């Protein structure tokens, strides 16, 4: 069969297809959401209406309309639409399609090549698109759930417009569910279903902005509501209880290797840093419920203890390490509570990044200044030769001097007087700042006596 044979009209989607597929919008007027792109005068709508043949990348989470928009563009511009999944298709098949598209272009036929999950192609495979995109033989539309900046070749990315699609709101998903419930042609209208107040809202909230998730849940709920074989039964109703049964367990959007992983851990870290225990527990729970490795979370909490709390509350590190050991000992879900305890403690603890910034300055000086030898008075002298070379000469044993502080420089000569650690007035660091001031006064007094 030719790749350029006419495709079935979208309006004649088979009745056995899933509800989400049957209810796929067929025009921009039916499309719901993404007003920032396809509202009147918005960039993507203008590009479609002007029949701009530029290639593009749709970036967004699942179920927000990436494939649907590509099909609408093909329908609107009367182009041949060819859909590939980067998971299933190899570059050999796609090269053949592109060669056929180039021939078709010479006959005046335009081709839209839609690549779902384009980020799954490696760099070399993505490079294979470039000649055909540059010549205009095909109009490439890629869809990805991953950040194109990281996953798409810069050469290919520079030849495409990137459009960011947002998750649908709960209200928008409720509208889609109501449309599916009453549509007699493609939806569930022939079943004369109704829904109790709050049932569709429950399905929508659990969809997490994914229209496909919402419609799939509605389809399950409809089957549960119409399960009774008794013709004398009252008209089927989707109750909140049926909606709950249809959902079973919420599937949270998460990819341990993808951007959402980094977004969530960033939200947790910044909530802890901002002393917000409620947000800290929420983002922690989101990660754990989505299947994140609890030991990964524990390691990040340890990092927060040393980076954002530091010596303002030294016990924070002990609590974070204890939470890690508890998770290792108990596993999940029992150990998850220990992580929540650590997250809340870190959020409420006094904050200081003085140690973090001070050590960063140390590393900078090591990188940018000459590597001076250790001063002689700080060297051990275990041999006679070393003593003859003045190793250890001038060293003062702090326990033998008044105040247990010697007036002795311990940094290399070029860094004499350099100060890295600047304690704050938060928590325990306030006492450390007082101790540093006391040490400074002791040293000054000893210098004055010389």
Task: Report domain extents, the chain.
Answer: 10-164, 170-247, 259-348, 373-449
Q: Where are the alpha helices (DSSP H) in 136-210?
A: 148-151, 154-157, 170-182, 199-207
CA dist., res. 276 & res. 348, Å (int): 7
Residue-wise pLDDT for 103-121, tens only, equals 776 676 777 888 888 888 8
Residue-wise pLDDT for 191-222, tens only, equals 889 999 999 999 998 888 889 989 999 998 99
| Per-residue tokens: 39 | 């509202």
Q: What confidence category does residue 354 fall into, taking pLDDT thresholds of 50, 70 and 90?
A: very high
Pseudo-torsion of CA 445, 446, 449, 450, nearest 10°? Answer: -140
- Residue 66: its H or E element: helix 66-77
Q: What is the pLDDT of residue 77?
A: 76
Residue-wise pLDDT for 30-60, tens only, equals 899 999 999 888 888 888 888 777 889 999 8
Residues in the chain, overall count: 450
CA dist., res. 310 & res. 119, Å (int): 39
Please indicate whether residue 138 or residue 256 has the higher confidence score (pLDDT): 138
CA dist., res. 34 & res. 25, Å (int): 13
Buried b / exposed e over 133-146, threshold 16 CB at 10 Å, is beeebbbbbbbbbb
Residue-wise pLDDT for 238-273, tens only, equals 999 998 888 875 555 555 556 677 888 899 999 999
Residue-wise pLDDT for 266-311, tens only, equals 999 999 999 999 999 999 998 898 778 899 899 999 999 999 999 9
DSSP secondary structure code for residue 377 in this structure: G
Q: What is the pLDDT of residue 228?
A: 63
- The sheet with strand 139-144 has its strands ordered as 80-85, 111-116, 139-144, 55-59, 160-164
What would the CATH number be for the domain defined by 259-348? Answer: 1.20.272.10
End-to-end alpha carbon distance in the chain? 99
Please indicate whether residue 108 or residue 326 has the higher confidence score (pLDDT): 326
Angle, vertex CA 447, rays to CA 442 and CA 450, nearest 5: 130
Pseudo-torsion of CA 41, 43, 46, 52, nearest 10°? Answer: 170
Q: Which residues contact residue 149 at a Cβ distance below 8 angstroms, ignoring those fewer than 6 apart? A: 157
CA dist., res. 143 & res. 141, Å (int): 7
- Angle of the 259-273 helix axis to the 294-304 helix axis, nearest 10: 40
Among the residue ranges 22-31, 118-127, 209-218, 339-348, the one predicted with the least confidence is 118-127
Most distant CA pair in the chain: distance in Å?
A: 109
Regarding the domain delimited by 373-449, which CATH topology (the fold level of the hierarchy) does it fall under? post-AAA+ oligomerization domain-like (1.10.3710)
Contacts 24+ apart (CB under 8 A), 335-342: 335/294, 336/288, 336/294, 339/284, 339/288, 339/294, 339/297, 339/298, 339/301, 340/281, 340/284, 340/285, 342/298, 342/301
DSSP secondary structure code for residue 111 in this structure: E
Q: What is the pLDDT of residue 339?
A: 96
Is it true that domain 10-164 has CATH number 3.40.50.300?
yes
What would the CATH number be for the domain defined by 170-247? Answer: 1.10.8.60
Burial of 148 (0-12, 13-18, 19+ CB in 10 A): buried
């Amino acid at each position: 069969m030719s790749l350029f044979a006419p495709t079935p009209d979208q309006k004649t989607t088979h009745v056995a297809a899933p509800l989400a597929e049957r209810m796929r919008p067929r025009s921009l007027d039916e499309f719901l959401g993404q007003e920032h792109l396809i509202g009147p005068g918005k960039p993507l709508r203008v590009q479609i209406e002007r029949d701009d043949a530029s290639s593009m990348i749709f970036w967004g989470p699942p179920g927000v309309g990436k494939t649907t928009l590509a099909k609408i563009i093909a329908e609107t511009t009367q182009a041949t639409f060819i859909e590939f999944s980067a998971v299933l298709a190899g570059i050999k098949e796609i090269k053949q399609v592109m060669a056929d598209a180039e021939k078709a272009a010479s006959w005046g036929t335009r081709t839209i090549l839609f690549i779902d999950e384009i980020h799954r192609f490696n760099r070399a495979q993505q490079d294979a698109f470039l000649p055909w995109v540059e010549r205009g033989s095909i109009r490439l539309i890629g869809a990805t759930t991953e950040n194109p900046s990281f996953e798409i070749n810069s050469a290919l990315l520079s030849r495409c417009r990137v459009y960011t699609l947002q998750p649908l709101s709960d209200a928008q998903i409720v509208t889609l569910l109501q449309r599916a419930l009453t549509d007699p042609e493609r939806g569930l209208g022939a079943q004369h279903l109704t829904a109790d107040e709050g049932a569709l809202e429950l399905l929508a909230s659990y969809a997490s902005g994914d229209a496909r998730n919402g419609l799939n849940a509605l389809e399950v709920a409809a089957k549960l509501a119409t399960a009774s074989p008794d013709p004398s039964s009252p008209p089927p109703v989707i109750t909140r209880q049926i909606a709950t049964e249809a959902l079973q367990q919420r599937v949270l959007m998460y990819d341990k290797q993808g951007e959402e992983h980094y977004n969530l851990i960033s939200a947790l870290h910044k909530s802890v840093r901002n002393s917000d225990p409620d947000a800290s527990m929420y983002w922690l729970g989101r990660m754990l419920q989505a299947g994140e490795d609890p030991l990964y979370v524990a390691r990040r909490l340890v990092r927060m203890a040393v980076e954002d709390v530091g010596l303002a509350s030294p016990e924070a590190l002990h609590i974070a390490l204890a939470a890690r050991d508890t998770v290792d000992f108990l596993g999940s879900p029992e150990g998850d509570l220990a992580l929540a305890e650590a997250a809340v403690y870190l959020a409420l603890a006094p904050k200081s990044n003085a140690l973090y910034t001070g050590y960063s300055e140390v590393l900078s000086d090591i990188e940018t200044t000459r590597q001076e030898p250790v001063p002689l008075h700080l060297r051990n002298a275990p041999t006679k030769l070393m003593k003859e070379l003045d190793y250890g000469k001038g060293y003062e044993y702090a326990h033998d001097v008044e105040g247990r502080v010697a007036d002795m420089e311990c940094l290399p000569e070029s860094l004499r007087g350099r100060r890295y650690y600047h304690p704050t007035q938060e928590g325990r660091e306030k006492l450390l700042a007082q101790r540093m001031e006391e040490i400074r006064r002791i040293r000054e007094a000893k210098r004055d006596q010389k």
